[in-house]
């Protein structure tokens, strides 16, 4: 459950714990409104985390989670001050040691996959 631990570390304001879950050879793609962030190393991800401007009350509320072999999938809402800021869909490939080898996440402030939950 490396991806859930990663999101929990971010929500707790502990980027060092989040970074500790990443493999040295991490590849990632994060799609945000107006920008896409990519990288090919743990160092690149550390730079992303250092520039991440998240309010202290941001929380990832996971609504669906699945594991298939070495892949973890999560869908949920991002809340800030208890209000929904948008929805996310994320996937991670995890090593046998529990490190995230590759990570992809898409965030959108105006769409929800699930009826009645989050933005429309």
Q: Which residues partner with 68 through β-bridges?
A: 71
User: 68 burial class (0-12, 13-18, 19+ CB within 10 angstroms)?
Assistant: exposed
Which phi-psi region, left, alpha or beta, contains residue 48 (left: φ > 0; alpha: ψ -120 to 50)?
alpha
Q: Which two tokens stand for residue 3?
A: 């991806």
The contacts of residue 32 (CB under 8 Å, 6+ apart) are 107
- Work out the end-to-end distance of the chain between its first and last CA atoms, rounded to an integer number of angstroms: 29
64-116 per-position pLDDT tens digit: 999 999 999 999 999 999 899 999 999 999 999 999 999 999 999 999 898 76
The beta strand positions in 19-120, using DSSP E, are 22-32, 35-39, 58-68, 71-80, 83-94, 100-108
Domains plus CATH for the chain? 2-108 (3.10.450.50)
What digits encode the pLDDT tens for the residues 14-48?
999 999 999 999 999 999 999 999 999 999 999 99
- This prediction has a pTM of 0.92
């Amino acid at each position: 459950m490396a991806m859930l631990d990663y999101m929990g570390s971010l929500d707790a304001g502990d980027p060092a714990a989040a970074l500790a879950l990443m493999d040295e050879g991490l590849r990632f793609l994060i799609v945000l409104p107006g920008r896409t962030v990519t990288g090919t190393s743990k160092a690149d991800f550390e730079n992303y985390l250092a520039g991440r401007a998240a309010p202290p009350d941001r929380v990832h509320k996971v609504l669906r989670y699945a594991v298939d072999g070495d892949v973890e999938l999560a869908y949920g809402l991002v809340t800030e001050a208890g209000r929904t800021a948008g929805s996310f869909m994320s996937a991670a490939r995890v090593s046998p040691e529990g490190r995230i080898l590759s990570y992809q996440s898409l965030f959108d402030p105006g769409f929800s996959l699930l009826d009645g939950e989050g933005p429309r």
